[in-house]
Copies of this chain bind each other. A is one copy, B any other.
């Protein structure tokens, strides 16, 4: 069986985009890159663990794609441009077919998004993938989650709930109707990088919807010191979700995570500009609510109003 160094050499060297700002890539104790003058650096990391973020037996290509996508979504939510990734992969055994498929999934998305893989680490252990992603940004042009104000409108990109419905099918919690659309939305999410990097000057605040509309818009509102009002009836849902989940579709749209859409706060006067950049980048953008003075989140559905003080998903909270 090939060793760690050989495996990294074979599957990960030169994976992703070739970038002139990479001075030294995989193969030494660390990578060397150059940050252009007048650019800030944006740094994020996210981990996918087998049995937690994906089911045992999931397609390696999808895991490679998602491991990068979840980080791209964080960079997009800051309105930055992704540039360099580091990859830490822990595997029970050196299955080369698995590695090739994983690298194909990671590499295709990296090339598409002009991200270079500059460092890697492979070790034996339970299957888990940690990616760190760096982005660049003009100084002061980040869009944070904490800078929204009362009166801002809340929008979400794309459609929500698809990934959660696909996962529920895999878990046997929802009848599997064979929808490839939903499955693809879960396995190959599309981070909104192009839209994200155009949000400066338009959005008041932005957050990656990795944990779902309700949890993440509540976080954005809390970070901004406001209350979020969400009109559940207008959440953007795909036909595939409606067909699969019927009357429960709204629950997936409201609470399902893993879509990697963006939640954007925008002033009423900037809504048209947001819609414009969404159109330009080929992404739907739907107004789903607003912020008002207060705390927590208020959900409106079919004439009913539900209030929650702090409804957030997380790994250890429930």
**A interface residues, Cβ below 8 angstroms from B:** 1-7, 23-24, 27-35, 37, 39-47, 49-53, 73-75, 77-78, 80, 84, 86-88, 90, 93-94, 118-126, 128, 130, 132, 134-135, 137, 139, 142, 144-146, 206-208, 219, 223, 312, 314-318
Contacts of A317 in B (CB 8 A): 1-6
Q: What CA separation (Å) do A125 and B51 show in the bound complex?
A: 8
Contacts of A50 in B (CB 8 A): 125
A119 touches B43 (CB 8 A): yes
A31 touches B23 (CB 8 A): no
A132 touches B86 (CB 8 A): yes
Q: What CA separation (Å) do A156 and B226 show in the bound complex?
A: 57
Copies in the complex: 2
Contacts of A132 in B (CB 8 A): 43, 45, 86, 132
B84 touches A43 (CB 8 A): yes
Contacts of A73 in B (CB 8 A): 29
A7 touches B45 (CB 8 A): no
Per CB-CB distance, the 9 closest pairs between chain A and chain B, nearest first, are A3-B317, A49-B125, A4-B314, A30-B44, A94-B316, A3-B314, A29-B77, A126-B126, A132-B132
Q: A40-B33, A44-B119, A132-B86 are in contact. Are A315 and B124 (CB under 8 A)?
A: yes
